[in-house]
Chain A
Amino acid sequence: MAILELKNISQEFGGLRALDSVNLQVQEQDIFGIIGPNGAGKTTLFNIITGIYVPTEGNLVFKGQQLNKLPAYKIARLGIGRTFQNIRLFNKLSVLDNVRVGSHGVTRSTFIEGMLGLPATRREERQVFADARQLLELVGLDHKEMEYAENLSYGEQRRLEIARAMALKPALLLLDEPAAGMNAGEKEDLMKLIRLIRDENKLTIILVEHDMNLVMNICERIAVFDYGKKIAEGTPNEIKNNERVIESYLGVGV
């Protein structure tokens, strides 16, 4: 079953058509890759799915529910978590607090309840703390939980973004260039992590990435974008041998 469906999505910025009638279906529990040259509209697509932009045209359906015009925080609460291409952590908060904020969408206690510290609030707080610890362990940052997020290395910051997005207990996780700035070893670990997250939580992952090795290795399906249009979609093997893709993005092999 398709967990996410994009029907005829277009996005215009002034005269620029960043996305042009895009149709896309993502199946449940897939790892779905989106590739394409810079400026192809990949991040724009993520921003539409997460409600940062309202698409000029088209329909967006998540688990049978229309997402159009829902504010970003409501979309997050429906179970769509994301990371950002240009890392957006809460720099002056601890690693642990970054993940705890991540759970905001799936917790309840209000402003007043927080001040009063009622038993139900304290119980929730303990749960949030335990979950956050577990996620930090998963991404290998448990020994740094009290560091400020800004003091982490680049690769660690990317992993922290994943942990924060996971705190939302999402059904769909969007990763925007998760391997950018990582070395070969870190990329290996990242691939294992992405697979592990998917298998353990039975969630769907869409990732935008420029590292072809990573994309071809872990994605079950791939869509290729160029100038705001989807030019191809298929399994990694189909994509590797697609002539249009080779021409516009992958380049002619040696």
Chain B
Amino acid sequence: MDAFLTQYVDAYYLRIMVFIGINIILTLGLNLITGVTGQLSMGHAGFMSLGAYTSAILSVHYAVPFFVALLAGALVAALFGFLLGIPTLRLEGDYLAVVTIGFAEIIRVFFLNFEPGGKAVGFSGIPQSTTFTGVWIVVIIVIYLNYKLLNSRAGRSLYAIRENEIAAEACGVNTTRMKVLAFTMGAFLGGLGGGFFAHYMYFIEPGNFGFMKSIELLNMVVLGGMGSIPGVILGTVILTIAPEMLRIVQDYRMLFYGALLVILMIFRPNGLLGDVRIYDIKKRLFRKEV
């Protein structure tokens, strides 16, 4: 499949498509934590780096098959998501955000000093096992499972926690348990995306997973629309492509990127698709006909 694609599609565009796919896996994970459950996390890159390093080390040093390494990376990230979820349950909003930033920094500094991970020099020679097809098959599975989850009993209770925690408890929702589950599942997807990332780049270093990476992922979720799967996908596509499209303005690239964020947030404070529902669109179309 990939061989076929590389014949007909420019390698540059294929590369962007792969990054869009990886970012969708990452942002759908963050969306579960922040968008759906309403727990502001600003350390998603920490989960990403756990998945990236774990899977990379397993591939290079232990010659573990790619998908096993990926899964192991995601599970390690999930474990840390679970552990981080427990103490942070008493915290809300800004306080939680500070803790997640601190967590991601600890992970980054750990890898800066981690011998098997190449320390500050970085870790190279990772097999490029990530393919366009592989990433997008996983993306489709992740979207499907997210969709099923958010339309189920558990998913609705996550939204309920975001909307009103006390009322959710009064409905019989074990908010503690659901928040930890959201953190664990979000971290799992963060680790999965990190694994794909590592196996696409040949080379990773702790700098790939700094605070700015976390913010970039958070931007995608907020811009697209917190809690909305189509919104998050759209936000991710736009913000992955934007820096590439903006290459024409060269030095002013990041300035335009920032301006784009400001303008979009002024005109769509709930995100591009944050409060758009198929039901409303249908209703509007139907009214016009009458």
Binding site for B on A (CB under 8 A): 50-52, 71-73, 76-77, 81-82, 84, 88-93, 97, 100-107, 109-111, 113-117, 121, 124-125, 128, 146, 164-165, 167-168
Please determine whether A88 and B153 come into contact, CB atoms closer than 8 angstroms.
no
Please, which residues of chain B bring their CB within 8 A of the CB of A103? 171
Please determine whether A109 and B159 come into contact, CB atoms closer than 8 angstroms.
no
Please determine whether A110 and B160 come into contact, CB atoms closer than 8 angstroms.
no
Is B170 positioned at the interface, with any CB of A under 8 Å from its CB? Answer: yes
Please, which residues of chain B bring their CB within 8 A of the CB of A89? 163-164, 167
Top 5 A-B residue pairs of the complex, sorted by shortest distance between their CB atoms: A105-B172, A114-B152, A90-B163, A88-B167, A72-B169
Which residue of B153, B170, B277 has the most chain A CB atoms within 10 A of its CB atom?
B170
Please, which residues of chain B bring their CB within 8 A of the CB of A117? 148, 152
Is B58 positioned at the interface, with any CB of A under 8 Å from its CB? Answer: no
Please determine whether B172 and A76 come into contact, CB atoms closer than 8 angstroms.
yes
Whose C-beta in chain A lies nearest to the C-beta of B165?
A: A88
Whose C-beta in chain A lies nearest to the C-beta of B164?
A: A88
Which of A90, A105, A106 contacts B167, CB < 8 Å?
A90
Please determine whether B149 and A115 come into contact, CB atoms closer than 8 angstroms.
yes
Is B156 positioned at the interface, with any CB of A under 8 Å from its CB? Answer: yes
Please determine whether A73 and B166 come into contact, CB atoms closer than 8 angstroms.
no
- Of residues 257 through 286 on chain B, the ones whose CB sits less than 8 Å from some CB of chain A are 275, 277, 279
**When chains A and B are docked, how far (Å) is the Cα of A91 from the Cα of B181?**
23
**Given contact pairs A105-B171, A105-B172, A111-B181, A121 touches B159 in the complex (Cβ within 8 A):** no
Count the B residues whose beta carbon is within 8 Å of the partner chain — how many? 30
Please determine whether A110 and B154 come into contact, CB atoms closer than 8 angstroms.
yes
Please determine whether A125 and B153 come into contact, CB atoms closer than 8 angstroms.
yes
Please determine whether A73 and B174 come into contact, CB atoms closer than 8 angstroms.
yes
Which of A50, A91, A92 contacts B170, CB < 8 Å?
A50
Please, which residues of chain B bring their CB within 8 A of the CB of A102? 171
Within the complex, what minimum Cβ distance (angstroms) separates A252 from chain B? 39
Please determine whether B148 and A116 come into contact, CB atoms closer than 8 angstroms.
yes
Within the complex, what minimum Cβ distance (angstroms) separates B283 from chain A? 8
Please determine whether A101 and B171 come into contact, CB atoms closer than 8 angstroms.
yes
Within the complex, what minimum Cβ distance (angstroms) separates A161 from chain B? 9
Whose C-beta in chain A lies nearest to the C-beta of B149?
A: A115
**When chains A and B are docked, how far (Å) is the Cα of A239 from the Cα of B179?**
47
Given contacts A76-B171, A104-B157, A114-B152, 4 further A-B contacts (CB under 8 A): A76-B169, A97-B159, A101-B173, A115-B148
**When chains A and B are docked, how far (Å) is the Cα of A117 from the Cα of B155?**
12
**When chains A and B are docked, how far (Å) is the Cα of A78 from the Cα of B275?**
35
Please determine whether B275 and A92 come into contact, CB atoms closer than 8 angstroms.
yes
Please, which residues of chain A bring their CB within 8 A of the CB of B277? 146
Which of B152, B162, B170, B173 contacts A109, CB < 8 Å?
B152
Within the complex, what minimum Cβ distance (angstroms) separates A44 from chain B? 14
**Given contact pairs A92-B275, A104-B171, A97 touches B148 in the complex (Cβ within 8 A):** no
**When chains A and B are docked, how far (Å) is the Cα of A107 from the Cα of B153?**
8
Is B124 positioned at the interface, with any CB of A under 8 Å from its CB? Answer: no
**When chains A and B are docked, how far (Å) is the Cα of A106 from the Cα of B156?**
14
Is B175 positioned at the interface, with any CB of A under 8 Å from its CB? Answer: yes
Is B121 positioned at the interface, with any CB of A under 8 Å from its CB? Answer: no
Interchain Cβ contacts under 8 Å between A and B, 26 examples = A72-B169, A72-B170, A76-B169, A84-B167, A88-B166, A89-B167, A90-B167, A93-B156, A93-B159, A100-B156, A101-B168, A101-B173, A102-B171, A104-B160, A104-B168, A104-B171, A106-B172, A110-B154, A113-B152, A114-B148, A115-B152, A116-B148, A117-B148, A117-B152, A124-B153, A164-B171
Is B75 positioned at the interface, with any CB of A under 8 Å from its CB? Answer: no
**When chains A and B are docked, how far (Å) is the Cα of A104 from the Cα of B162?**
15
Within the complex, what minimum Cβ distance (angstroms) separates A102 from chain B? 5
Please determine whether B148 and A101 come into contact, CB atoms closer than 8 angstroms.
no
Is B18 positioned at the interface, with any CB of A under 8 Å from its CB? Answer: no
Is B185 positioned at the interface, with any CB of A under 8 Å from its CB? Answer: yes
Please determine whether A104 and B153 come into contact, CB atoms closer than 8 angstroms.
yes
